Amino acid sequence: MTRTRRLWLLGLAVWIVLGLMSAAQNATWRAYTDRPIDWGSILPNSLGDWLTCGLFTPAFYWMVRHFPIRGERWWARLAVHLAGSIAFTLLKVSIWTPLFNAINPDAHRTYSQILFAGFYGDMLAYWAAVGVIHAIEYYGESRERTLEATRLALDNLRAQLQPHFLFNTLQSISTLIHRDPAAADRMLTDLSELLRLSLRSPGSKEVPLREELEFLERYLQIMRVRFGDRLVIAVHAEPNVMDVPVPSLVLQPIVENAIQHGMADRTDRGHVQVRAARDGSALRLEVFDDGPGPSATPSSNGIGLANTRERLRRLYGPDGRMDILQDKGFTVRLQIPLRS
Amino acid sequence: MTRVLIVDDEALARERLRTLLSSELDVTIVGECSGGREAVTAIVQQRPDLVFLDIQMPDLDGFQVLEAVAMDWLPAVVFVTAYDEYAIQAFDVNAMDYILKPIEPARFKKALGRAVKRGPLDRLVIRAGGKVLFVKPGDIDWIEADGKLAQVHVGRETLAVRIPLKRLEERLEPHGFVRVHRSAIVNVDRIRELEPWFHGEYVVILKDGTKLTSSAAHSQALHRIVDTAE
């Protein structure tokens, strides 16, 4: 609401300044032609003229909102504004004529006299106002877009790296700093790299499997330090699939789930395996854990997996698949088509 | 000497707490646990004065640990959590303190000092409507059995807990609670009057107007109260 009020006040100020400038112009001309400068007459005439235009500000806004001059068929909307500017001029003069005659009791001007004396000036006022409003709207939208992009990047970060992961990792680093500075240093570098990659713009971008596995390795390195012997993680990837493009950051959330499952409800060691292999004309990615499966922790990860399935479908259509297999553990299997 | 237990599923997090505690003179660490179940056993057996308790753990979370031990022994608790949202929403901050990871030494010292001063907590831990409540026994008016649940009446609120009435009775007896009926125990403090009924039974009228009929089998305890009152 305050932004709207600011805009209205700004609008009023602009019209007053225009009125004052026009008064100054009038006075200068009179001085140049050696005529007396009667401010008592000049000011109300100039201000009155411009403020009458100002009365139409809401109408200008309405016109810009409904007929913005841009995008497809912008020229059709330009025509609407042409009609608008003429309508504005006619209406404005019909308001201004009685006001003018009230301010200048001896003048006795008619509607047509005033119309023809100021027609192009009023038309110009219309176009200037519409131009400025376009600029304001553009500015607001671009700010909104920047904010939206930042929000998306942060959402992406939060989806990839849970706050719990982040702060627990920092806690581990703060422990290691005292005992093993080199290990703390490595962990900090791994975390920084994860953050950097997660903050990259989101979307359906693909990266070679090799890069995806490098990212995953950073993440796993941190998890190995944090959970020590309680977690055994192995990654097997066939060399001939390393260059296959895969959706960026697709593996890490699934592995995170697997680690949570694999370690849930047990005090012995949890195992997680990541496998990448060629299967006919597709790349098969599997993430296996030997935990009790998702039934043990029902609420937490359904959404993450549903998002992955949706992403594969959008990228690859029916050739992109995600299956969940449950047999002595829990496997998430992704199928990604190979493209030449 | 304050006897402290450390509970966190990550070894490095436990190490951090150990290091911070090692410079404290009046503190001795009686154990470390890497999971919720282990913590329940350790708390019940060791009866520590203070527990540093992680909230997110793979088997039982921190609140479940407290729920499980509260009937036996509820030490002073400082929650140690990675992410504040969960912690702050879920519990009554007056009863428990929390510190965030990574741990800031000054904040840690403050929480430790407060918890030592407070000492073990004589509270029941009750989960209700997504919140974890730490209820003082003295705030409870009366409790009725309701199938497998017990309905705990605290002022205007009624909280359901999954604890047998028998256990609640044992736990609350030292706080002046008495069984009046097969399925009700009452805070003696809340009794306004006893109306003698038939066969040595009474109608127990509480200060809030609730009327409960004592059963003959449980009237003896009430006899004693009436006698001491007279």
pLDDT digits (tens, 9 = 90+) for A76-102: 889 999 999 999 999 999 999 999 999
B103 in contact with A, Cβ within 8 Å: yes
How far apart CA B105 and CA B21 sit, in angstroms, is 10
The answer to whether the Cβ–Cβ distance between A171 and B101 falls below 8 Å is: yes
Q: Minimal CA–CA distance to B172: which of B157, B186, B151?
A: B186
Q: Order of strands, edge to edge, in the sheet holding B211-213?
A: B191-196, B202-206, B211-213
Number of residue pairs across A and B with CB atoms under 8 Å?
62
Burial of A113 (0-12, 13-18, 19+ CB in 10 A): middle
Q: What is the DSSP letter of A325?
A: E
Whether the Cβ atoms of residue A209 and residue A248 lie closer than 8 Å to each other: no
Per-residue confidence at A203, pLDDT binned at 50, 70, 90? Answer: low
Give the pLDDT score at B226. Answer: 64
ipTM over 0.95: no
Residues of B in contact with A174 (CB under 8 A): 16, 102-103
How far apart CA A311 and CA B69 sit, in angstroms, is 45
Residues of B in contact with A267 (CB under 8 A): 34-35, 37-38, 59
The answer to whether the Cβ–Cβ distance between A226 and B12 falls below 8 Å is: yes
Degrees to nearest 5, angle at CA B168 with B207 and B88: 85
Q: Closest Cα of chain B to A256: distance in Å?
A: 13
Main-chain dihedrals φ then ψ at residue A180, nearest 5 degrees: -145, 80
Q: Minimal CA–CA distance to A172: which of B87, B88, B82, B33?
A: B82
| Tokens read off for A151 | 């929000």
Q: Minimal CA–CA distance to B158: which of B172, B170, B142?
A: B142
Residue with tokens 């001029």: A89
Per-residue confidence at A10, pLDDT binned at 50, 70, 90? Answer: confident
Give the pLDDT score at B229. Answer: 57
The answer to whether the Cβ–Cβ distance between B58 and A265 falls below 8 Å is: yes
Measure the N-to-C terminal CA separation of chain A; round to a whole number of Å. 55
Q: What is the DSSP letter of A55?
A: T
A179 in contact with B, Cβ within 8 Å: yes
A300 in contact with B, Cβ within 8 Å: no
A336 in contact with B, Cβ within 8 Å: no
Residues of B in contact with A167 (CB under 8 A): 82-83, 100-102
Give the pLDDT score at B32. Answer: 96
Give the pLDDT score at B17. Answer: 96
Q: Order of strands, edge to edge, in the sheet holding A231-237?
A: A231-237, A270-279, A282-289, A330-337, A321-326
**Cα–Cα distances in angstroms (integers) from residue A175 to residues A180, B17, B80, B110, in the given order:** 9, 9, 14, 20
Give the pLDDT score at A199. Answer: 75
* Longest CA pairwise span in chain B (Å): 66
At A77 the three-state DSSP class reads helix
Residues of B in contact with A227 (CB under 8 A): 10-11
**For A328-336, what is the mean pLDDT?**
90
At A153 the three-state DSSP class reads helix
Main-chain dihedrals φ then ψ at residue A324, nearest 5 degrees: -115, 125
At A247 the three-state DSSP class reads strand
How far apart CA B73 and CA B44 sit, in angstroms, is 6
User: Which residue does chain A place closest to B102, by CA atoms?
Assistant: A171
| Tokens read off for B56 | 């997110």
Residue with tokens 């022994």: B73
Give the pLDDT score at A299. Answer: 44
Give the pLDDT score at A293. Answer: 58
A174 in contact with B, Cβ within 8 Å: yes
Quickly list H helices, chain A.
Answer: 2-32, 39-54, 57-66, 74-103, 111-160, 163-179, 181-199, 209-227, 251-263, 302-316
**For A236-244, what is the mean pLDDT?**
94
The answer to whether the Cβ–Cβ distance between B12 and A175 falls below 8 Å is: yes
3-state secondary structure A287-322: EEECCCCHHHCCCCCHHHHHHHHHHHHHHHHHHCEE
Give the pLDDT score at B227. Answer: 66
| Tokens read off for A120 | 């192009």
For an interface test with B, give the residue of A170, A173, A174, A230 to mutate (most B CBs within 10 A): A174
The answer to whether the Cβ–Cβ distance between B83 and A176 falls below 8 Å is: no
**CB-closest option in A166, A167, A175 to B15:** A175
B12 in contact with A, Cβ within 8 Å: yes
C-alpha A241: how far from chain center: 35
**For A258-283, what is the mean pLDDT?**
86
Give the pLDDT score at A297. Answer: 46
How far apart CA A103 and CA A31 sit, in angstroms, is 22
pLDDT surpasses 60 at A140: yes
C-alpha B197: how far from chain center: 36
The answer to whether the Cβ–Cβ distance between A175 and B19 falls below 8 Å is: yes
B64 in contact with A, Cβ within 8 Å: no
pLDDT surpasses 80 at A158: no
| Tokens read off for B187 | 């805070």
The predicted-structure confidence for B155-200, as pLDDT tens digits, reads as follows: 988 999 888 899 899 989 999 999 988 899 999 999 988 888 887 7
For an interface test with A, give the residue of B8, B9, B16 to mutate (most A CBs within 10 A): B16
Residues of A in contact with B13 (CB under 8 A): 168, 171-172, 175
Give the pLDDT score at B119. Answer: 83
pLDDT surpasses 50 at A107: yes
pLDDT surpasses 80 at A2: no
Q: What is the DSSP letter of A249?
A: T
Q: Closest Cα of chain B to A145: distance in Å?
A: 28
At A42 the three-state DSSP class reads helix
B59 in contact with A, Cβ within 8 Å: yes
| DSSP letters spanning chain B | -EEEEEE-SSHHHHHHHHHHHHT-TTEEEEEEESSHHHHHHHHHHH--SEEEEES--SSS-HHHHHHHHTTT---EEEEEES-HHHHHHHB-TTT-EEEESSPPHHHHHHHHHHHHHH-S---EEEEETTEEEEE-GGG--EEEEETTEEEEEETTEEEEE-S-HHHHHHHHGGGTEEEEETTEEEEGGGEEEEEE-GGG-EEEEETTS-EEEPPGGGHHHHHHHHHHH-
Q: Closest Cα of chain B to A266: distance in Å?
A: 7
Stated length of chain A: 340
A222 in contact with B, Cβ within 8 Å: no
B20 in contact with A, Cβ within 8 Å: no
Positions in chain B short of pLDDT 50: none
Which sign does the torsion angle of CA A253, A254, A255, A259 carry?
Answer: positive
B100 in contact with A, Cβ within 8 Å: yes
Per-residue confidence at A263, pLDDT binned at 50, 70, 90? Answer: confident
Answering whether pTM is above 0.90, one says no
